[in-house]
Amino acid sequence: MTDEQNPFEALETRLQARKAEYDTMPVPDTATSRAVQAGIQQASRKRKTRLRWLTSSISAAALILLFTGCIRVSPAFASFVEQLPGMEGVVNLIRQDKGLMMAIDQSLLQKVGITDEHNGGSVTVEGIITDDSRMVIFYKMKGMKNTEQFDYDIDLLDGNGKDLPVGFGYSTIHFDSDDPVYENYIDVIFTDQAPPPDVLTVVFKSRDKANPGVWKVTMPVDKNLTKGMKEVIPVNETLVVDGQRIQVKQATMYPTRLVLDVQMDPNNTKKIFGLSDLQLVDEQGRAWRTDTSVGEDTRSIYFESMYFSKPKKLTLQGSGFSGLDKKELDFSLDLKTREITGGPSGLQMLGSKVEGKNLIVDFSVPDSMEDSFVLGFSKVKDRSGKTYQTPGASWSPGYGKDLDHTTVSITIEHGAKLQGQLQMKIATYPSKVKSPFSLEIPVNP
């Protein structure tokens, strides 16, 4: 009997086959994961990753992206997804997120296929997948001018043309001049105060003044595809890691991700930037990894979704955390003498330069930033108390011949005229505390 003659039986057979594939999906060993992570981080130095936060209860400084190892999927499943017209690049884009792959296999991907084309260039939103916590927007660019240097910004608007009060991230990579087609996705974070819109407009704006252009794609959002798909798992357990107390409050499973809500004890002596090598392991030994956390003392940590896997047991595991003693977070910096008073030992100022209206300050950090956090600041003030933003940072391993140090360049926005002393507060720092931990997460049968 054909699929057309008995679609329900065919669908059931297909989903059972996919379930068997997921159940036997291999987990990379430690060496493989580290190799993949190192490769991703090396590539990240050659591309630009954009994080955008608009009016929201979420702080821009609190968004932390961690690099994760890739999870292989079977060729049969890859072939199945690639058969979706216009979405051949989806598998490569989200191959590392098996939760998203499962959601797509459950027919939760909303096909869009709307294109805005002018001046020889076009942008197509191929599809979206969304629930109450996250939206992933898949898009394709073709025919852009000056492809080797083409760069762009993205805005997300609601049905009234107003900016969505959400955070989202995307990366821009130079086009291959031999194949000027570029596929990527935008990863959007929703909150209870900022749910998915009914109508979405994605705006792409060229940053090339010689070849300006704006492309807009507007589409309805079918929220019924994932309506009611949410499962809350109360935990209310306390982790003690190297003397620091972390309350694990609850886990919420959505089709696109699992959200683990934690609370750092205000009496902790250290500021915890993130938990290291964090993963959830089910009863079959499959690891569900995290790539993002949002918040500071109250924090949401995002994992791959196991919503359609229905685990019987979950164990939260980690190797320690990245953090600093709270007394080391604040320091003063003399831009003229390069002297640092306070702060973590070993932090040095190497120099500074003016770029347009901004001041770029170079630091040396006595740590490697591989698989770690980059030096970042939540507050910079001059002598008068005026506050400056630090929207960008770049880094490279080593300083001279010293490979045990990392050079970090911090952009102080509108700081070109700054002189004398600055007061600075560290938001993230590449220091690690080794202290393995595990915690059982109760899963309702």
Whether residue 53 has pLDDT greater than 60: no
Pairwise pLDDT comparison (136 vs 3), residue with the higher score: 136
Q: Tokens 């009060």 belong to which residue? A: 165
Average pLDDT over residues 276-299: 89
Among the residue ranges 6-15, 122-131, 252-261, 333-342, the one predicted with the least confidence is 6-15
Task: Report which DSSP code applies to 223.
Answer: G
Q: Which amino acid appears at position 300 of this protein? A: S
Q: Is 105 exposed, middle or buried (0-12, 13-18, 19+ CB in 10 A)?
A: buried
Q: How far is CA 393 from the centre of its chain?
A: 16
pLDDT at 23 over 80: no
Scanning the structure block, which residue is given the tokens 């360049």? Answer: 409
3 state SS of 102: helix
Q: What is the pLDDT of residue 85?
A: 59
Q: Which of 254, 128, 253 is nearest to 198 (CA)?
A: 128
Q: Is the pLDDT of residue 328 over 80?
A: yes
Residue span(s) of the chain under CATH 2.60.40.1640 come to: 231-323+434-441
The DSSP code for 165 is S
Choice among 160-174, 310-324, 419-433 with the minimum mean pLDDT: 160-174
Which of helix, strand or coil describes residue 132?
A: coil
The contacts of residue 192 (CB under 8 Å, 6+ apart) are: none
**pLDDT band (50, 70, 90) for residue 223:** very high
Q: Which two tokens stand for residue 189?
A: 């974070």
Question: Does 2.60.40.1180 match the CATH number of domain 231-323+434-441?
Answer: no
The pLDDT, as a whole number, for residue 415 is 95
| Rg (the chain; Cα; Å) | 23
Cα–Cα distance for residue pair 230/56, rounded to 1 Å: 23
- pLDDT tens column, 74-83: 444 454 455 4
Class of domain 327-432: mainly beta
pLDDT at 82 (0 to 100): 54
Q: How far apart are CA 58 and CA 282, in angstroms?
A: 30
pLDDT score for 296: 83
5: pLDDT strictly greater than 60 = no
Find the helix or strand (DSSP H, E) in which 35 lies. helix 30-44
Instruction: Report the C-alpha gap between 261 and 251 in whole angstroms.
Output: 6
Cα separations (Å) of 176 from 82, 142, 149, 170, 180? 21, 11, 10, 18, 6
The least confident of 56-70, 339-353, 357-371 is 56-70
- Whether residue 243 contacts residue 277, with contact meaning beta carbons closer than 8 Å, is answered with no
What are the pLDDT digits (tens) for 81-121?
Answer: 554 555 566 666 677 788 888 888 888 989 999 999 988 88
As a whole number, mean pLDDT of residues 322-328 equals 95
Domain with CATH 2.40.30 in the chain: 327-432
Q: pTM score, two decimals?
A: 0.76
